[in-house]
Amino acid sequence: MTLPSLRLKANADRRLRAGHLWVYSNEVDTTATPLNSFQPGDQAILEAAGGKPLGIVGVSPNNLICARLLSRDLKHSLDKSLLVHRIQVALSLRDRLFDQPCYRLIYGDSDLLPGLVVDRFHDHLVVQLASATMERNRDAVLEALVQVLKPRGVLWKNDSSAREAEGLERYVDTAFGVIPEWVALEENGVKFEAPVLQGQKTGWFYDHRMNRARLAPYVKGKRVLDLFSYIGGWGVQAAAFGASEVFCVDASAFALDGVERNAALNGVAEKMTCVEGDAFEAMKELKNAEERFDVVITDPPAFIKRKKDLKNGEAAYRRLNEQAMRLLNKDGILVSASCSMHLPEDDLQNILLGSARHLDRNILLLERGAQGPDHPVHPAIPETRYIKSLTCRILPNS
């Protein structure tokens, strides 16, 4: 296959030589290689200003990130063979780390497959294609996954907003075999079922696995509040780890049905109380009812999706964590999580400090958590690191 060239301006190759994988539209020499000569999903040979080849890229000519590096070896464009190889490399890491085949198998750029996310639930795979290049190679992606993993079913869960920027339609469809509405998984020795067809994202959030495992010593025999609980990733594990009582709060009745389903799977249904409604309103009602907890977990959706949301998002994190602290007993544990890539961990720490001081409380930072190793961070791409989890002890100021 003969590929066209995409040439960079002078010195625009420095970031890529340093390990980055992205090309921005203002870095392209559009006189030599006009972006409008490419179709979304085309592959091209990326060239430095002097003509030296840097690798093969997938092109998204209408985006700010107009190309992503697929291979630094010109012999390997994105095809089934390269996909099989990259999937096998990713699989070798996950097999080394986890005793159950339940994990994020492919994490986009970090696994050198930009635009591809694959979550594994035993013999079922949920796949997200977020780039025109991956969408165009959809059949090869499926063939490679089936060859390497021999799954019972593969689901295309292509309903994310990221596809709009690529000019791609949203859809959810069974790609291979049979996909049940709820699929089984196991995390930290606790059994779950995830609603892959109707649930959020791929149906489950593996990224907090390690942070949820660290709940165990804090929750045994304790009363726990899990805010933004979804289907019970934190709350059901807290109950399974020995919590005496767990309140799960979520705005979705469907999600809370999942909490009850997963609690029953683990024989802890009698410990669970589900509260449907807005988390902020629920916290006010719990405080007015003089409910208090030994452990409060806040794991909200991203309050800061874009940089322009920063000010309002930081205010939301502060309001959330301050209200959560008000619900703690005198010697309480707050687990404060964030999936906002634009909120650095130090900023979340400062928000917690400010909230504690506003309430005249002392705060001790006990543990820092991040995304698990099935969401590896590409050190040249800060955007691949997004999960923060801070475990704090909140004490009276005396």
Active site members? 339
Dmax (CA) of the chain:
73
Question: How many Å from the N-terminal Cα to the C-terminal Cα in the chain?
Answer: 73
Show Cβ contacts of residue 371 under 8 Å, excluding neighbours closer than 6 positions: 207, 208, 210, 377, 385, 386, 387
CA distances to 176, 192, 198, 345, 381 from 152, rounded to whole Å, are 8, 18, 19, 39, 34
Nearest to 212 by CA among 394, 393, 371, 374: 371
Task: Name the nearest CA neighbour of 236 among 250, 124, 119, 290.
Answer: 250
Q: Which two tokens stand for residue 32?
A: 């030599």
Task: Write the single-letter amino acid at 18.
Answer: A
- Dig out the tokens for 1 from the structure: 């296959």
Report the candidate in 160, 132, 125, 137 with the shortest Cα–Cα distance to residue 68: 132
**Angle formed by the axes of helices 310-326 and 345-358, nearest 10°:** 50
Q: What's the rounded Cα separation, in Å, for the pair 251 and 30? A: 48
Please list, in sequence order, all residues whose beta carbon lies within 8 angstroms of the beta carbon of residue 140, skipping any fewer than 6 positions away. 78, 79, 80, 83
CB 3 within 8 A of CB 45: yes
Residues 6+ apart with CB under 8 A from 233: 187, 192, 204, 205, 208, 212
